[in-house]
Chains A and B, each alone.
Chain A
């Protein structure tokens, strides 16, 4: 199995991303903690040292992160090495800028205090950058692997064979319906088998779901009923490819197939400020269900959301009053309207 190396690994982190900010803050504070521990030389003086150092570290750290967040577009255009050098220089400069305000050592000469602060700033920036780089390297094979995993998990053989059987069932009585079904199936598979990497618009994703549901309608007939609650849907929002379809497939498999009568799937998509909310609900049949498949599809999507949005996406599930609900929140990013 060959996984193409992801060329995007050596790229400056997105400093406005909450996860990146959080990790930068945590790692710098961890460094400060070790520095304090080394200097205090004993447990008794550690809290005092920590407090002193925190007062010294936090202001330039926060100011530096805000500065980098503001400059991130401009920095991102640079070659990684130049960008990284610039980030280190900026961090060092910010630390020097704050040095006169805090001089807890008290005995350092003015010039040397600047130098020490600058060196600390540069060292901290270098440490954070290399940590984030290492982290993205560690996660990038996972990205490729997750895509592969997603690919195998998404084509549920159960669906494929049932669908083909459905087409064979109508091919003599309604050849046109069979034709349409095969066209839809090939459209669906074109997307399923694509090298899905870039974000797609929500409008495209919804169109794919409609095609999928049309296919399932062929074999499930009136048992499958679908309600779209997507009047205020931001069709231009960018989302990971195949974010919705596997969830809809789950809803059909667990909510409609085990039901003898009509069962309704409700799909809600709306935008609230900078957040896109997606909700999929289906009737829940507690008795004997193949929960493994369900969990796999959900974990798959959770993992991909994390890879795409880090900490800024949320997914939760709930089974209550005979209804199973999946809720997803992703940040609204505008793409080209389809």
Chain B
């Protein structure tokens, strides 16, 4: 049997050193080799594309991109590595893991527990997107798009609007468009704090709404459209969404 390729993600150097030492310790019972390491989620995504890891040991609390968001993006890799979360102390996270039957290790990690987790990780299926979303109810900070064998990250804060088109959702930044393989309804639920639905097929970033104006529609009737900061395009507002959109705009203090 080929040795298990393990990738370590932790923002603290001594914590990575500890896991490396333990992996060497358990190698006789669980043959393994180090596939690489990274100090945060973004670095990890870049390296994991070529690292061909079977298992990723992922710290929860990390700067820039936390472990749970990393796991969500890792799901887009093919083949996706199994994920085992590590956490020093996070009552909330541990509760959520137990509830959703997700593998985790408590730091300081013990060799036996690590061996058991590695063993189990290669046999069980990685947690699904919905489970991961439940683990991090505050939503992610990046969208991920599989592009030419890489994973492209798009900061949620850069996206001006999300529009549903046939099977995909288009995420529009000021520079370009990305195709997301997700449903608009799910995105609306997850990112309610940052986006507001302006139309049946469209969510606008609250921070990007610059104002409103009246425009003539195809049917000859005038209706409201959203002006966007940094983008010439206008987004039509459906009559049904108008009160909520207007309230969201005046509510965030940007009016005037």
Contacts and interface: CB of A to CB of B under 8 A. Distances in A.
Interface of A: 157-158, 160-162, 164-170, 172-173, 218-221, 257-260, 287-288
Given A161-B108, A162-B88, A162-B107, A260 B15 contact: no
A157 B63 contact: no
Nearest to B19: A169
B90 interface: yes
B12 A161 contact: no
7 contacts: A158-B88, A160-B89, A164-B108, A165-B108, A172-B21, A257-B63, A258-B63
Contacts of B21: 172
A170 B17 contact: yes
A284 to B, nearest CB: 14
Given A257-B63, A259-B63, A260-B40, A161 B16 contact: no
B12 A260 contact: no
A169 B89 contact: no
A213 to B, nearest CB: 15
A162 B88 CA distance: 6
Interface residues on chain B, size class = 20 to 34
Nearest to A253: B61
B14 A165 contact: yes
A266 to B, nearest CB: 20
B63 A260 contact: yes
A149 B18 CA distance: 33
Interface SS of chain B: loop
B12 A219 contact: yes
Nearest to A156: B89
A288 B18 contact: no
B100 interface: no
A257 B138 CA distance: 19
B72 interface: no
Interface string B5-37: 000000111111110010000000000000000
A160 B109 CA distance: 14
A161 B89 contact: yes
A220 B108 contact: no
Contacts of B12: 162, 165-166, 169, 219-221
Contacts of A168: 14, 18, 108
A144 B183 CA distance: 55
B199 interface: no
A165 to B, nearest CB: 4
A288 B138 contact: yes
B64 interface: yes
Interface of B: 11-18, 21, 39-40, 61, 63-64, 88-90, 106-109, 138, 141
B200 to A, nearest CB: 30
A260 B64 contact: yes
A166 B11 CA distance: 12
B61 A221 contact: no
Given A257-B61, A260-B63, A288-B138, A158 B18 contact: no
B13 A169 contact: yes
A252 to B, nearest CB: 12
A288 B109 CA distance: 26
Contact of A219 (B14, B64, B90): B14
Contacts of B138: 288
A284 B73 CA distance: 26
Given A161-B107, A165-B15, 7 more contacts: A158-B88, A162-B15, A162-B88, A165-B14, A168-B14, A169-B14, A259-B63
Nearest to B86: A165
A287 B17 CA distance: 29
Contacts of B89: 157-158, 160-162
Contacts of A259: 63
Contacts of A166: 12, 14-15
Contact of B16 (A157, A164, A169, A220): A169
Contacts of A170: 14, 17
Contacts of A258: 63
Contacts of A160: 89
Contacts of A161: 88-89, 106-108
B205 to A, nearest CB: 15
Contact of B14 (A218, A287, A288): A218
Nearest to A222: B13
B156 to A, nearest CB: 10
Contacts of A257: 11, 61, 63
A178 B248 CA distance: 53
B40 to A, nearest CB: 6
Contacts of A260: 11, 39-40, 63-64
Nearest to A167: B14
A257 B106 CA distance: 18
6 closest A-B pairs by CB: A169-B14, A169-B18, A260-B63, A161-B88, A162-B88, A166-B14
Contact of A165 (B88, B90, B141): B88
Given A157-B89, A162-B89, A169 B17 contact: yes
A200 B61 CA distance: 35
A221 B13 contact: yes
Nearest to B40: A260
A219 B15 contact: yes
A311 B14 CA distance: 45
A165 B17 CA distance: 10
